[in-house]
A and B are shown apart, each in its own frame.
Chain A
Amino acid sequence: MIPDGSSQASNKISKKPTYSRFTQQDLPAWKPILTPALVIATLVCLAIIFIPIGLFSLSASKNVVEVVDRYDDACIPSPNQKVGYIKDPATNKTCIRSITIPKKMRKPIYVYYQLDNFYQNHRRYVKSRSDRQLWNPKAESRTTQCDPEGQTGDGKPIVPCGLVAWSLFNDTYMLSKNDAALPINKKDIAWRSDRIHKFGENIYPKNFQNGTLIGGGKLDESIPMNQQEDLMVWMRTAALPTFRKLYGKIETDLEANEKITVTIQNNYNTYSFHGKKKLVVSTATWIGGKNDFIGRMYMAVGGTSLVFAIIFSLLYVFKPRPLGNPSYLSWNKNNTI
């Protein structure tokens, strides 16, 4: 604690900081400066990348053939009693719709159902599930996250528990072309990773939709979870309130102007929250479905870059400023102008 004054003169180790390029902040460094060449090159590069990608996306989106049929209103006999109709288990909810293929569609053709105004991303909804229970038979009673759809009234665990599973979409579609059935392949519509690692093969639905308040679809209790692909698709909760989910695939090409008859079992209640239901038949490209936004956005960004590249070129030509000229320093300006 007490420094020794007398020994200061002799054998005192120098405290001079040892030299290293790091401690003296002399490390080599790249010091980029926004020179005119660099600025213009950057902007031109952006334009060169963005405009072609934009064009490609637009053309890809244009090539997508998509048929959308909204059926929620049409499949209700009287518009005043929507909710009563859909909630009545006794009525026959079969509904026949017809769609026309506008352009030739090449296989695989995807069949989606689309819901509007359905907030599958709601905080309380998203959390109301038990992923462990879906995989591990021993964890079937881990349902605390699922309340109030965790247990039946007498305390038995519900498998699969939670609001997500409870609200399972249960409309069904049957397609026919020229009175011949057009098969929809419902195999492998869920992710492979879900089938193999997320939904167990020894788990069977239990006590599902047995309560007083029935949500959506029921599940066949004899089929193990890893084959309940509709449930898997449903439980990949959608990010946005307007979403599509894969219903199945059509493995044949469809020609232009072909009429397709759709037999819908209109079971799912979107009427109480003013949701829409749509059937979508679509092909797919690298850009996904039909969506011009990406193409337009890329064109806009690329175009802006190009415009600024031109503006800056003109600026550098007509109002040049020599780089690093000390006469531009503020304290020199006053005197040299």
Chain B
Amino acid sequence: MMKGSQQQWPLLVPPPRTPGKEELPIDIDSSIPVSSMSKPYSDSQIEMSGDFVRNPSSHSIQSKSSSTHSIKGVSFREGHDLNPVSYGSRGASLGSNPVRYGSRGASSGGFTSSYKEINDEDARLVYVNDPGRTNQQRFKFAGNSIRTSKYSILTFLPRNLFEQFHRIAYIYFLVIAILNQLPQLAVFGREASILPLAMVLFVTAVKDAYEDYRRHRSDRIENNRLASVLVNGEYEDKKWKDICVGEVIKVSGNQTLPCDMVLLSTSDATGVAYVQTTNLDGESNLKTRYAKQETQMRTPVVGNIGGLLIKCEKPNRNIYGFQANMEIDGKRISLGPSNIILRGCELKNTDWVVGVAVYAGKETKAMLNNAGAPSKRSRLEKRMNKEIIILSIFLVALCTVVSICHGAWLRRHREELYLMQFYRKYDYSEPEVKKYEYYGWGMEIFFVFLMSVIVFQVMIPISLYISVELVRIGQAYFMIRDDRMFDKSTNSRFQCRALNINEDLGQIKYVFSDKTGTLTENKMEFQCASVGGVDYDNGKDISTEDWQTGYSVQVDGMVLRPKMTVKLDQDLLNLSKMEHTNEGKHVYDFLVALAACNTIVPLTVETSDPAIKLIEYQGESPDEQALAYAAASYGFMLVERSSGHIVIDIQGKRQRFNVLGLHEFDSDRKRMSVIVGCPDQTVKVFVKGADTTMFKVIDKSLNLNMVNATESHLHSYSSKGLRTLVIGMRELSTSEFEQWQSSYESASTALMGRAKLLRKVANNVENNLKLLGASGIEDKLQQGVPEAIESLRTAGIKVWVLTGDKQETAISIGYSSKLLTSKMTQIVINNNSKDSCRKNLDDALQLYKKLSNVSHSNDGGHGAGTNQLALIIDGTSLVYILETELEEKLFELASKCTAVLCCRVAPLQKAGIVALIKNRTDDMTLAIGDGANDVSMIQKADVGIGISGQEGRQAVMASDFSMVIYTSLPTIVVGILDKDLGRGTLLQYPQLYGAGQRGESYNGKLFWVTILDTMWQSVAAFFIPLAAYWDSTVGVSALGDLWILAVVILVNIHLAMDVIRWYTITHIAIWGSILATFICVMIIDALPFLPGYWAFFMIAKTKLFWVCLLGIVVAGMVPRFVVKVFVQHCKPNDIHIAREAEKFGNLRETNAETEMNPISDLPRSTATATT
């Protein structure tokens, strides 16, 4: 089959890279971290290919369950028993040859993904172009219509109510309302008690209904979009919702894909298609997808398309994994993630593709990923829950006491009960005597219990939940509207995805950060190069006028210019133009290698000036992009890539290079190579890769001096924090080429062990290379990162950086981002066995003890500065440590370290590291990252922050809060608006953050102090009127008015004493709520049909009333005021002092040296003792 296709191409052009590439990402041994890892992780990390690890940006937040699912979803089943199922005449023996695909250990090396077995139980069979047969199976496949709406007209009421009553507060209110409906208990009016709850439910329901209506509408629009579907041999327009699995769909360029499809063929002869997955994972670069050669050949003839059978895994959420087999002409070929294009993606740079729908509608990966984020509970909420339980115990105790007393009372008066005015056992108003409102001993006591529950229910501040929620909404509003939380370059605002963890942001103790895209910009910038042993490191930024005259080429009257330019070294620039000198030749080869040895796709972008076009390089590796831009800036501009060849514009001349073969990057070789047929009819292999592996295959005998010089340059580059790549080349003789070609061909068509064979081929050709040079690429730090990290450290937050980079790079980034400082003692753990890990950890702990002893005996004052530890640990060691007993030691060590750097870690290990901390301390953790590889970590941490690269799918955020009005307004207003300190002060003193970590503002002690305080206040509010009005003529309503007003004023003054910043709104809320209570009382007492008619006006005429009110408020508040003043004077906390300093302006006159002492982890007593 391959041979057949080969004839269509010119000589020396065997089918390009497709065969190798499509297998690699799912090949076991190719996944970078996996090969070096053992049991705990290996079988769950199979699909974490280079592709996955390198994902620069994503904000698709999957739910916790989805992430586990996505990772487990591709793991191979071990020892599954297959009951072969025949698939019609052709595939009779398909499943009968189960391969035990052990994923642990090296024995799996002999197999390739082409023989991955999919358990029949889990498989779905798709008959291409035969939707009828496809859908007639055991499983009913979902249609392509989607439904993001939650309700229909019929289900709305029950479902909505069901969902609303998921909130504990509502259930509580409901129970109280139901209790009020019992006639025996009716403390308040029956109707009145149900009203607030009914109103809240109603408002929420209306809001939900409106939102759902909008979802219905957007669903309808989405479902009615048109796609071109093959029906009876012709493409017809069909609505999206009518597409079924098994149908063949044709999609044109720039269109959105209607469902998940396996590519059958594309407009490109080699079956390449490019898709943009912005809507799916937020990444904006183009992803390359391939149609299988076997189907690519057939599809142009429409009738030929049927008869294919695809057997693929069940729908799952993993957007980076796909496993399937395709049966074609009795042969089985395997399909991987690179053969499937997903719903929601956009087809780019490709005229058309034809594919077969395999997952539709709600089973598409996009829809399966459309679930909400896992809900997290804030620490405050957990504490609140605990305290509410304490209060509930109180409540039950109180009610029990009341019912016991009631029982005693009933017993004491049992003789009189039959006569008691309102407790008559018998009703004498009736002719015959019968029981009246007396339910017997037990029931009476029980009713009294329930009644006291109603009466004392206010003790449980259940509405606090709603208040807190409203406060968070307000806070989120301010966070979103903060113009300092706006990123100009991406035009994106802060997004608050989870409302319930706002307050945790103030209590973080550990920050886990991804490196690429978080600390660094993920914008690789070519910095310098060493070519032929000469360091070209004097790059100058092209100034603006230079940029105008910078390198550009003329094509058809158009000026083409690279979109990004790099710093140009003048010497190198001059040399690049002198092709005929010896040095010039070397530079020429180097730059050609930069331009050719990659998988970059050049795209032209229109500019405002119609005569100028920009050329943009799209590719999955930012390093390659940087190199291609560098080559372009030096005049070697890659302008075209098509099947089998690339066009490089070299100093104004368009030169065609035939790409004869490509060996993908893999983690074993750590290099990639292309075999290129050059315009001068020579065949060259260009290789680029990591220095460690490249120097092994370089022929050092050629020019030892140059090799040594290059090595020293590399050392200096990497110490500057640059990412280095070594570039080599070899010219292939005809015989060598033919030998390579035949082995390459047989390897890429092999059915067994294709990847391994290809790697062998690559290894054979990548040797005896001539060293061309090395490049240094800067992984640019994000703006402000060093300052931010320094602030975090002064604030007492431990910063852990988790990166997939190699150790040296990670350390250099650590230095440039000020995570590591020269003062720190570095502990490096880099091992290959458990025993050595254990030994290293023990040694490190010993070292720590020694160091801390030294610091204690010397000078504790500055000890914190000199004895900071930094732990650097790599992924391989973590394999032996995580989930073993060594975890404990690592935790002990890591918690002593100021900075921790984990390099070469796999995505799942990141989550493991977060769990290491989270499971062992109560300290709050925060994870920040930008890529899909960070999702698990983000979800694991208490607070997760995703950096959005670009805006993707406008995921319908299920906003499931409701506006509840009867919670106390002033508290909410103060909760939203109040701030303790200005941002200037906080930035100046990052240490102030420590107050949150230590939980100074709210803790258990404070809870009990507050309880005592409020107890005193209620004593004042109750007993002062009681004593003042004892044996007076006061009525129930009048005294009730006094009590309610006293309570409202007390509560508001209490709040007012804690307000730090009084805005106009705060004044309005606090004084307004007191005023509103007065008005309400007046209105109620002006209704003649209520018993309390005119009571307020009568009592307000007496001076005693006002004297009482004033007395209650002052007597209630004096202890609080006195204690507050006393604490602030004698034991001021940091925030008090900073507030005073802010107000009285002493901030800037401070001694700079004392300011920056970080919070010491040493126990305070020791620290003071040693000074």
A46 at the interface (CB under 8 A from B): yes
Residue of A nearest to B1160 (CB): A334
Partner of A305, one of B994, B1088, B1118: B1118
B1168's partner among A5, A30, A326, A337 (CB-CB below 8 A) is A337
Q: Does A138 count as interface, using CB distance less than 8 angstroms?
A: no
Residues from chain B with Cβ under 8 Å of A272 in the complex: 416, 419
How far apart are the CA atoms of A306 and B1141 in the complex, in Å?
Answer: 29
Given the contacts A148-B424, A288-B1104, A323-B1140, A17 and B480 also touching, CB distance less than 8 Å = yes
Cβ of B1039: which chain A residues have Cβ within 8 Å of it? Answer: 239-240
Contact A244 B1033 (CB under 8 A): yes
Q: Is the CB of A326 within 8 A of B954?
A: no
Question: Which residues from A are CB-within-8-Å of B1128?
Answer: 34
Given A24-B482, A335-B1171, decide whether A329 and B1061 contact each other with a Cβ distance below 8 A.
Answer: no
B488 / chain A contacts, CB cutoff of 8 Å: 16
A165–chain B nearest beta-carbon distance, Å: 12
Which residues of chain A are near B1024, meaning CB under 8 Å? 297
Q: Are A122 and B1033 in contact (CB under 8 A)?
A: no
* Cβ A308 vs Cβ B1122 within 8 A: yes
A-B Cβ contacts below 8 A, count? 291
CB pair A240 B1029 closer than 8 Å: yes
**Complexed CA–CA distance, A132 and B1125 (Å):** 54
CA separation between A126 and B189, bound complex, in Å? 13
Within 8 A of A (CB), among B1136-1161: 1137-1144, 1146-1147, 1150, 1154-1155, 1157-1160
How far is A24 from B983 in the complex, measured between Cα atoms in Å? 11
Q: Which residues of A contact B1088 (CB under 8 A)?
A: 131, 135, 197-198
Interface residues in B895-954 (C-beta closer than 8 Å to A): 950-954
- CB of B1167 within 8 A of CB of A293, answer no
Does A37 count as interface, using CB distance less than 8 angstroms?
Answer: no
In the complex, the answer to whether A335 meets B429 with C-beta atoms within 8 Å is: no
Point out the residues of chain A lying under 8 angstroms from B1147, CB to CB: 324, 326
CA distance A77 to B481 in the complex (A): 84
Mask: chain B, 488-528; 1 = CB below 8 Å from A; 0 = not: 10011100000000000000000000000000000000000
Interface check B192, CB cutoff 8 A: no
Q: Are A326 and B1171 in contact (CB under 8 A)?
A: no
Bound: A324/B1024 CA distance, A: 39
| B1033 lies within 8 A of A246 (CB) | yes
How many Å lie between the Cα of A297 and that of B421 in the bound state? Answer: 38
CB <8 Å contact, A294 and B1155: no
Interface residues on A, range: 35 or more
A49 to B1104, CA, bound (A): 15
Tell whether A291 is near chain B: CB-to-CB under 8 Å: yes
Among A88-96, A99-107, A208-216, the stretch that binds chain B is A208-216
Partner of B1064, one of A27, A148, A167, A244: A27
A211: which B residues are within 8 A, CB to CB? 428-429
> Please, how many angstroms separate the alpha-carbon atoms of A130 and B1121 in the complex?
47
Interfacial residues of chain A within 285-330, with CB under 8 A of chain B in the complex? 286-289, 291, 293-294, 297-298, 301, 304-305, 308, 312, 315-316, 319, 321, 323-330
Q: Is the CB of B1035 within 8 A of A238?
A: yes
B1111 and A287 contacting across the interface, CB-CB below 8 Å: no
Stretch at the interface among B665-673, B1003-1011, B1089-1097: B1089-1097
Partner among B1030, B1098, B1130, B1164 whose Cβ is within 8 Å of the Cβ of A242: B1030
Q: Which residues of A contact B991 (CB under 8 A)?
A: 329-331
Interchain CB contact under 8 A, A328 and B1137? yes
Contacts of A213 in B (CB 8 A): 419, 428-429
Say whether A149 faces chain B, with CB atoms less than 8 Å apart: yes
Q: Which of A32, A131, A167 contacts B1062 (CB 8 A)?
A: A32
Q: How far is it, in angstroms, between the C-alpha of A83 and the C-alpha of B1031 when the chains are bound?
A: 25
Name the residue of chain B whose CB is nearest to the CB of A126.
B1036
Asked if residues A25 and B222 are in contact (CB atoms below 8 Å), the reply is: no
B1039–chain A nearest beta-carbon distance, Å: 4
Q: Is the CB of A1 within 8 A of B954?
A: yes
- Return chain B residues, CB-CB under 8 Å to A34: 1124-1125, 1128
Decide yes or no whether B989 CB sits under 8 A from chain A. yes
Cβ 8 A contact of B279, one of A3, A149, A273, A326: A3
| B282-301, CB < 8 A from A | 284
B1114 and A301: CB pair below 8 A? yes
Q: How far is the CB of B410 from chain A (nearest CB, A)?
A: 14
List residues of chain B with CB within 8 A of the CB of A29: 1061-1063
Complex-state Cα separation, A302 to B950, whole angstroms:
65
Contacts of A273 in B (CB 8 A): 416
Residues from chain B with Cβ under 8 Å of A42 in the complex: 1121
A-B contact pairs, 21 of them (CB 8 A): A1-B222, A2-B953, A15-B491, A32-B1062, A33-B1139, A120-B1036, A131-B1089, A135-B1088, A148-B424, A152-B429, A191-B1094, A193-B1098, A212-B428, A240-B1029, A242-B1030, A244-B1031, A273-B416, A287-B1104, A294-B1104, A294-B1107, A329-B1137
Task: Please list the residues of chain A having a beta carbon within 8 angstroms of any beta carbon in chain B.
Answer: 1-3, 5-6, 8, 12, 14-19, 23-25, 27-34, 39, 42, 46, 50, 53, 57, 112, 114, 120-126, 128-129, 131-132, 135, 148-149, 151-153, 163, 166-167, 191, 193-194, 197-198, 211-213, 215, 235-240, 242-246, 272-273, 286-289, 291, 293-294, 297-298, 301, 304-305, 308, 312, 315-316, 319, 321, 323-332, 334-337
